[in-house]
């Protein structure tokens, strides 16, 4: 779907006009292409004294061969040297030309609010030294795991800081807060890679929790899903098509599912990616059983289930028919529950398996005319949060994405004025692309994301709606 305004403001004349008139200036976002390094450009790494995650961050940066700089801080230099990285000390008063593609700060050592000034000391000198489409990552301890209320308070405070930086960084930059529970130090890498890379182009101001897991995957990061089987519902078009293509790019065999009326479109997608097509309506009473039978007969089990199929039937509640209510609830929520129940009961989801759901910012903020849709998508969040602990004990994770305004047929049908508002009312001043949702799902799906559980990550460019 075309966004002519973004095309215009990326031309010389458009940029000049938008700047002088004070209009939004959406930047063409960096997006991942196969073969690209995780990050191109300098990274500034820092941390508060006694941080327990600086070494894990330094190791991940070493693994991706990042060009790492630090301030002259002994504890950070030691962690960086121990990870095998060359220590480059940045003196911001002397080297004024350097621009950073990423800023990574380990705040896990902060145990009281007075020490939050460390965050100021790290970020203040560098905020005018970031490149376009930069990445800011703050790493902290899950407040729930802290030893004292004062420590939990300080860690929780990082959330407001991160969300504010997301609004200040501009020029396509993002800011994220990654909380690691004690013992999850070896689970950070897949999440750091995702948030550092252009794969997270339209994800900003998110808070992610990572937990300890006994699964430590050593994998080919270029094909992390090699040998995996993924089921993607609603795969014939839009976001589902992008998910199917992205998981296949990462090495998975994709079973694409869609309604029989779209079987031809579905087959076009699955044949392009060497996957298989399953044409059925997920609301049919026998669909969970049929899905289980298909998986059992052709693959023996499944590693990744992506519940993407979804519909809207927008009306204010006073004008809504029960048929519109039932249809949305059934497709968007109840059939997902029935499919999960059947696959789990039959033991079809393999060890280190993934259930990934597609919610919506309407499920977080609510939306005029979407009481049915908002309810179904909030229910998806409830499903993720309620199932996460028990599934984790079975070495299966469940997470959700909550897209904001994504350029698809669904949003192309929105009236012009509302569509433009949806597109611009976010920190990126533009809509996201289906691939932005798909890349986030691919991060959850990675075998290296075994500790990423129970999260709801918005893919919305930090939309003002429900912020």
Ligand X SMILES: NC(=O)c1ccc[n+]([C@@H]2O[C@H](COP(=O)([O-])OP(=O)(O)OC[C@H]3O[C@@H](n4cnc5c(N)ncnc54)[C@H](O)[C@@H]3O)[C@@H](O)[C@H]2O)c1
In this structure, are residues 111 and 80 in contact, taking their beta carbons and an 8 Å threshold?
A: no
For the record, the structure tokens of 281 come out as 């309506």
> Can you tell me which of 20, 33, 322, 409 binds ligand X, judged by CB under 6 A?
409
In the stretch 241-280, what mask flags binding to ligand X with x, by CB under 6 A?
-----------------xx--x------------------
For the record, the structure tokens of 195 come out as 């948030």
- CB nearer to ligand X: give 185 or 439: 439
62/356 Cα distance (integer angstroms): 30
> Can you tell me which of 108, 187, 213, 408 binds ligand X, judged by CB under 6 A?
408
Decide: is 305 part of the binding site for ligand X (CB under 6 A): no
- CB nearer to ligand X: give 433 or 450: 433
244/237 Cα distance (integer angstroms): 10
- What separation in angstroms does the CA of 177 have from each of 118, 150, 166, 392, 436? 16, 19, 10, 22, 19
Backbone angles phi, psi at 88, to 5 degrees: -115, 115
DSSP-based three-state secondary structure for 415: coil
Choosing from 5, 202, 373, 444, the catalytic residue is: 373
Helix (H) or strand (E) holding 306: strand 302-307
> Can you tell me which of 403, 447, 451, 461 binds ligand X, judged by CB under 6 A?
403
Decide: is 446 part of the binding site for ligand X (CB under 6 A): no
Determine the interface stretch with ligand X among 86-94, 170-178, 303-311, 390-398 (rule: CB under 6 A). 303-311
Decide: is 426 part of the binding site for ligand X (CB under 6 A): no
- CB nearer to ligand X: give 233 or 426: 233
Decide: is 240 part of the binding site for ligand X (CB under 6 A): yes
Position of minimal CB gap to ligand X? 310
Determine the interface stretch with ligand X among 42-50, 109-117, 217-225, 398-406 (rule: CB under 6 A). 398-406
In this structure, are residues 313 and 324 in contact, taking their beta carbons and an 8 Å threshold?
A: yes
Compute how many other C-beta atoms are within 10 angstroms of the C-beta atom of residue 226. Answer: 13
Shortest Cβ 130–ligand X spacing (Å):
28
Shortest Cβ 240–ligand X spacing (Å):
5
- CB nearer to ligand X: give 153 or 283: 283
Shortest Cβ 232–ligand X spacing (Å):
10
Shortest Cβ 302–ligand X spacing (Å):
17
In this structure, are residues 133 and 27 in contact, taking their beta carbons and an 8 Å threshold?
A: yes
Nearest to 190 by CA among 213, 172, 167: 213
In the stretch 341-380, what mask flags binding to ligand X with x, by CB under 6 A?
-----------------x-x--------------------
Decide: is 190 part of the binding site for ligand X (CB under 6 A): no
The two counts, helices (H) then strands (E), for the chain are 17, 14
Decide: is 405 part of the binding site for ligand X (CB under 6 A): yes
Nearest to 289 by CA among 240, 365, 341, 215: 341
Decide: is 457 part of the binding site for ligand X (CB under 6 A): no
Decide: is 62 part of the binding site for ligand X (CB under 6 A): no
In the stretch 314-343, what mask flags binding to ligand X with x, by CB under 6 A?
-----------------x------------
> Can you tell me which of 175, 210, 309, 355 binds ligand X, judged by CB under 6 A?
309
400/446 Cα distance (integer angstroms): 14
List, as own/partner pairs, every contact residues 280-288 make where C-beta atoms lie below 8 angstroms and the sequence separation is at least 24, other chains included: 282/233, 282/257, 282/309, 282/331, 282/335, 282/336, 282/339, 283/327, 283/330, 283/331, 283/334, 283/335, 287/335, 287/338, 287/339, 288/335, 288/338, 288/339, 288/341, 288/342, 288/343
- CB nearer to ligand X: give 181 or 279: 279
Decide: is 133 part of the binding site for ligand X (CB under 6 A): no
Shortest Cβ 30–ligand X spacing (Å):
21
218/224 Cα distance (integer angstroms): 9
Backbone angles phi, psi at 346, to 5 degrees: -85, 5
Looking at the DSSP bridge assignments, the partners of residue 458 are: 402
- CB nearer to ligand X: give 16 or 412: 412
Shortest Cβ 352–ligand X spacing (Å):
25
Determine the interface stretch with ligand X among 184-192, 244-252, 268-276, 307-315 (rule: CB under 6 A). 307-315
Decide: is 419 part of the binding site for ligand X (CB under 6 A): no
- What separation in angstroms does the CA of 189 have from each of 39, 63, 250, 422? 14, 9, 17, 33
Shortest Cβ 467–ligand X spacing (Å):
15
> Can you tell me which of 281, 326, 337, 420 binds ligand X, judged by CB under 6 A?
281
Q: Is 120 a catalytic residue?
A: no
Beta-sheet pairing, 396-403 with 456-459: parallel
Helix (H) or strand (E) holding 105: strand 100-106
What residues are labeled active site? 373
Residue ranges binding ligand X (CB under 6 A): 233-234, 236-240, 258-259, 262, 281-283, 308-311, 331, 358, 360, 403, 405-406, 408-411
């Amino acid at each position: 779907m075309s966004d002519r305004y973004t095309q215009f403001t990326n031309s010389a004349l458009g940029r000049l006009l938008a700047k002088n008139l004070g209009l939004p200036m959406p930047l063409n976002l960096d997006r991942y292409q196969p073969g690209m390094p995780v990050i191109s450009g300098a990274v500034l790494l820092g941390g508060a004294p006694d941080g327990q995650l600086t070494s894990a961050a330094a190791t991940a940066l070493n693994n991706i061969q990042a060009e790492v700089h630090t301030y002259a801080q002994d504890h950070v230099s030691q962690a960086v040297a121990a990870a095998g990285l060359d220590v480059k000390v940045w003196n911001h008063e002397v080297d004024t030309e350097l621009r950073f593609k990423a800023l990574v700060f380990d705040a896990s050592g902060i145990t009281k609010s007075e020490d939050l000034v460390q965050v100021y000391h790290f970020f203040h000198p560098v905020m005018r030294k970031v490149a376009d489409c930069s990445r800011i990552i703050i790493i902290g301890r899950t407040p729930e795991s802290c030893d004292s209320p004062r420590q939990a308070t300080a860690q929780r405070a990082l959330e407001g800081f991160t969300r504010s930086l997301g609004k200040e960084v501009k020029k396509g930059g993002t800011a994220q807060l990654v909380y690691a529970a004690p013992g999850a130090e070896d689970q950070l890498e897949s999440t750091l890679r995702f948030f550092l890379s252009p794969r997270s182009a339209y994800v900003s101001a998110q808070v992610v929790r990572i937990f300890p897991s006994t699964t430590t995957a050593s994998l080919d990061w270029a094909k992390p899903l090699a040998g995996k089987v993924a089921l993607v519902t609603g795969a014939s078009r839009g976001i589902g098509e992008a998910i199917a293509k992205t998981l296949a790019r990462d090495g998975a065999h994709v079973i694409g599912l869609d309604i029989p009326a779209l079987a031809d479109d579905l087959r076009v997608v699955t044949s392009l990616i060497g996957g298989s097509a399953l044409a059925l309506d997920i609301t049919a009473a026998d669909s969970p059983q049929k899905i289980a039978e298909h998986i059992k007969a052709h693959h023996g089990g499944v590693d990744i289930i992506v519940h993407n199929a979804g519909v809207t039937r927008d009306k204010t509640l006073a004008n809504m028919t029960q048929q519109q209510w039932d249809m949305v609830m059934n497709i968007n929520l109840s059939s997902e529950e029935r499919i999960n129940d059947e696959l789990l009961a039959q033991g079809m989801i393999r060890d280190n398996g993934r259930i990934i759901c597609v919610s919506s910012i309407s499920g977080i903020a609510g939306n005029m005319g979407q009481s049915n849709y908002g309810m179904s998508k909030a229910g998806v969040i409830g499903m993720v949060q309620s199932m996460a602990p028990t599934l984790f004990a079975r070495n299966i994770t469940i997470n959700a994405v909550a897209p904001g305004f994504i350029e698809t047929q669904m949003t192309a049908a929105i009236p012009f004025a509302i569509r433009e508002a949806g597109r611009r009312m976010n920190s990126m001043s533009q809509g996201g692309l289906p691939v932005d949702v798909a890349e986030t799902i691919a991060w959850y799906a990675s075998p290296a994301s075994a500790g990423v559980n129970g999260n709801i990550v918005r893919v919305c460019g930090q939309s003002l709606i429900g912020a």
